[in-house]
Every structure is written in structure tokens, then in C-alpha cells.
Structure 1
Amino acid sequence: MIKRTLFFSNPAYLSTKNEQLVVNFPEDDKQEATIAIEDLGYIVLENPQITLTNGLLMKLMQNKTAVITCDKQHLPCSFLQPLVGHTEQTERIRHQLDASVPLKKQLWQQTITTKIENQANHLLKRQKNALKLKRWAKEVKSGDTENHEAIAAAYYFQNLFDIEGFSRNQKGIPPNNLLNYGYAILRAVAARALISSGMFPSVGIYHHNKYNAFCLADDVMEPYRIFVDDLVYDIVEEGNNNIEELTTDIKQLLLKIPAMDVVIDGKQSPLMIAMSRTTNSLYECFYGSSRKILYPDF
């Protein structure tokens, strides 16, 4: 079942009744709204004047609904998930922590190979040269010791957008702002899937920054970034929106990321479900019953 994503940009009072999310607005002309909690996958809270009851938070966590809050720049800055996401969580985290260095290097090699292949296919879709990316995808070694990821990413973004002076930088010119927002949503999707698969998002297979609480989420989301790039490219090319700022219309488009159709293991699937298949396959690698992570093909 595809879970819904709700986005709140105005002041609101959120509570619960009869297993429903109840939304009340301070404006007299807005009627009360209700949504079944079991249908919710993600809730994005942007306005600081939003109030939630503890009863609602409890039910959202029991339903494994990801609650995402935003900062003053309207970018996602926190992510709320249950302490227990899987019945075998303790055992699964133990297998994750016991994973050998050679295994993690092989898993990172698979991850980067798929990411670069997806980048190449995206450039081909946009009728741009991808021969270098195709070659680099075949040259990735265990652990990506030659850092093909960074080399490929620099080439990919230099050739993707027809915007003078564009380079991928969090504080760079648009559409970096759109990419930042889309990647933040994608990161929440990855973290939610990892927790639901009984793993600890902070312990990565490659990322290991001590200040990063979502290292493993950053690892598994790498091949998925291309789907954000593809959506942002369409927004830019259509020219119907002012990309200088993150408008509500643009955010609504980017919040469709969890429900985007992707192809994984030869079958079409919503991105949020594909991510769960990826994280489950990752656990099987940690457990020892598999040696391959399932990633989507662009």
C-alpha cells in the first residue's frame, strides 16, 4: 500500500480521534479535516505554529509514520521515528555491527556502481554524453578506493543542467535549493525504511562522520538520488515555477518523491516500497544469506 505524505505550511492544531488524524485551523472559515492514520507514511511540519498532541504522536509512531520538521529556511531538519521499528531489532543491529570490513567495501562498490550507471542513464535520457560515466561505472573497485563517486558526480552535474556556472553545492545557485529539499525528503525515506528493517541508521557501510546520525541512510540513498535529479530537471525545464525560492508549489512536487515509480529487480514499484526492498536486502547481506543489495535501475 502506498502511504500518503502530508505537508503543513500554515498554523494548525493536530490531534487524534478514532484512529484518525484530526486537523483544525485557527481560521474560522476552514473546516476540520480528518485522515486515517494507517494511510500516512510521512508528515512534514514547516510552520513553527503547529501544535501536536502527545496522543497523536504516539499513534503516528505506532504506525511507523515519519514526522519531519523544518528549520527557518524551510528545509527538513529533524526526523521522528519509533525506538523499536522491527520485532528482531536487537539481533539485526548486532549483525549490522558485526559486518566485516571486506563485506562493507563490497557493498559500497555495488552502491557506487549502480549510482554512476543511473547517472549515466539520466544523462542519456536528457540526450547528453554519458560515455565517461559508463566507463567509470565499470571501473569502481572494492571500497571505491579511487573515488570514482566524486569524479563521476562532478562530471555529471557539470553536464546535467544547462545553467551557466552551476555546480553541485548545498549553498550554490538554484536549482541547488530544490536538490537540497529533495535529498532531505529522500534521506527521511531511507531512514524510515532502515528502521522498519530493524537496522540502526547511524552506523554506515561507508559514511562514518561522528556528527552524522544518518550515515547508513546516506549510504543506501546514493543510487536513488537520480530520481530527485530527474524530478528537479523537469521542474527547471518546464519553467512554470520560480526556482530562486522554494515555493509551496515546488515543495508539493518534491513531496511526491516517496510515491514516484521506480524499477527494481525488473518490476515497477513506488520509491518508498523499493527503498524497503533495498534495506531488507542490505540486512540479508549483513546476516550472510545474500551478497547483493537490491537497487533500482534508472
Structure 2
Amino acid sequence: MTTTTAFAVLCGLLLGAGCWLILVRLPFMRGNTFSDRIEAQLRSRNLESRLLRTPTHNLTPFGPLERIVRPIIGDAITYLSRFNIGSAALGKRLARAGSSKSTLDFRAEQLLWAGAGFVMAVLVVVISAAAGQFSPAFLVVCVISGAAGGYMLRDYVLGQRIRKRESAMLSEFPSLAELMALAVAAGESAMGAMDRASRSSSGELSAEFGLVLADARSGKSLSEALQAFSMRSELPPLVRFFDGLVVAVERGTPLADVLRAQAADVRDAAKRELMESAGRKEIAMMVPLVFGVLPLTVIFAAFPAIAALEISL
């Protein structure tokens, strides 16, 4: 396949995709939903001004192109949401990552990343075809791998964000727990101590304290707000901490002792994890020592003797 043929194939694919987008967005190709049918009757009751609506932010730097493709992505997400592909688990993961995005927004980002991987795979195929190395099997494998890789890469980035955020929360937890213990010992209530800790610090855990306080001030009890956080978190030290707070608030046990004990437990767990990490790294350091440094030492030690034997012979 020559360069002209590869360019013609690429232009044909782009033209076909454009014609397909125009066709599927025609009015007779789209069925009216129930909300669309009754919108004309409810328009007089909807007094909200369009100027006061929250503007939609673009997820990519391609503003006009994104606005063109967004309806197609919305239709695809709506179709996939019928199968309920881990929506509850995904919502919990987004909450653990501290993201305000909905599951539909995340699925849209995954589709965009998959599209980017697909485009990169097509470019690789076109470049290889221009070099005279076109293969249908390579085309199929490269395109599928690119799209699947982009889709899974977005999920991997979310997992890395969750691990980084939870690590930061664990590192902040002992200091905030002791600060709350001091506030409680000075006469503050549990809610007041949490408010003081969240206002006196900045970080991931203090932001979570702010969310708990916002839930408590919106009408929920403090116990319900704490239980909601323990349900969306999977860190055992934090779950034990908030469960201990719930028990202390409900039964009236001393909070200061509970907070100090929780902070001491987290510090001990951090020390154990540090020692385990040092042990694993010590074992990993044996690999370059045994296979790299030790053979060179043996060679330098034995080479003079071997050279002397060869000279004597």
C-alpha cells in the first residue's frame, strides 16, 4: 500500500464517520423521550432563566468538536447504563478519589480516552501502511488494543488517584486525631472539635471532615454523617476511628481517650508498614548485589591469578 492509498483510506474513514454522525442525528432517526414530549406543556411552569444555568465545562481542549461529539457520547453512555456496568462500585471509587464527577461523566471520559487510543492506533496503522508493511491482522489487533488500552488507562489513573489520596489521608490522620483530642479535652464537643480540626488544617482528610460537617449541618445527625463516611471509605484505621466516634457520641464515653488511642494505633501501623517496606527493599537490593556486584568482585579477584598461570605456562 502506497502513501496515496493510505491517505485515501484515512480520508474515506473520516468521511464515512462524518456521514454516519449526520445520519444518526437526524430527527427521524431519534425517538422522542417522555420528557421531550411533555416539555412543551411544562415550559410555562419552568421559570428558570437560561442565563442562570450552570455552564457545561469541556472535558477536552477541542471545544467545538467536543460539543459535536458529546450527544453521541451521551447516547452511548445511556445505552451502556442500561446494563448497570458497576455503577454503584464506580460511584464509591469516585467518592474515594474525592472527585465530584458522576458515573456518567467518568464513563464519558473513558469513552474519550478510548477514542484517543483508537485514533493513535489508526495513525500507527497508517504510518506502517505508508512504509509498505500493511497487515489486516495487525490492523485489527492494533485498533482493538488501542481502544481497550485507552479505556483501561482511565480506570488505572483513577486507581492511582485513590491510592495517592488514601496515603495522604493516613499520613494526616494522627495529627488531626490528636488535634481533635486536645479540642475535646478543652471542652469542645465532637462536632466542634472536628470543625476546629478542619479549619486549622488543609489536606484530603480535613476536606472529608468538611463533608461530614456539611452533612451534619444539612439535617443529618452526626452519627449518620460519620457512618456515611465510613461506608464510602475502605481504610481500616479511618473506619475504626469513625466507628469509635459514633460509639462515643451515642454512649457518652470519653472522646479524648478514644482519639488518642486511635492516633497511637495509626502511628504504630505506619511504623510497621515502614519496617515491612524496608525489609522488602532490602531483599530487592540483593538482586543487583548478587547478580551485578558479586560477579565483578570475583572476576577482579580471580583475574590476576589466571593471568599469572597463563604467563607461567
TM-score (norm 2): 0.21
**Which protein has the bigger strand share?**
1
**Which protein has the bigger helix share?**
2
Higher relative contact order (CA 8 A, sep 6+): 1
Larger Rg belongs to: 2
